[in-house]
Amino acid sequence: MQTPAFTSLEQRLSRAATQRLSNAMLQQQAGGVAFACTHDVTLASSSPFADIATQPTHSVSVWLPDGQSALAEGSEVILTSARWLQGCRCRITTAVETDAAGWAHFDVLPLV
C-alpha cells in the first residue's frame, strides 16, 4: 500500500516525465481524449530475426493516471507522431502491461 504523500510525488513525477519526454499523442477514438506518449520504432534489420521479420516494431509507452483507459490487445487507437502528423489508426498487438505507477507499455501495428 502506498502512502498518500508518495503517491502524490509519483504522480507529479510521471506528469513531468510525460510533458518532457513525449514525442507522440495517443487517442482511443477520433476527437477523444489525447494522451501524451513516447513512440519508438525498431527496424527489423536490428532484430536477430531480420531474415523473417520485415516490419518495424512500433512501441508505445503512455501514462494513464487513475486507469483512465480501457486499452487492451486488439483495440484500435490513433497515434499522432512525427511520422504520422495527421494521426494513424493502429491496432494494439501485444498485451497492455501497466505498472504500479500507471505507465502502460505495448506494441502497435499501423493499419495503413
How does strand 76-81 pair with strand 57-63?
Answer: unpaired
pLDDT at 58: 93
What lies within 8 Å, CB to CB, of 96 at 6+ separation is 71, 72, 73, 104, 105, 106
Torsion on CA atoms 50, 92, 88, 49, rounded to nearest 10 = 0
**Rounded CA separation 72/32 (Å):** 17
State the CB neighbour count (10 A cutoff) for residue 51.
Answer: 8
pLDDT score recorded for residue 39:
93
What are the average pLDDT values for consecutive 10-residue runs of the chain, which has 112 residues? 68 71 90 90 72 80 77 95 91 91 91 85
pLDDT for 49: 67
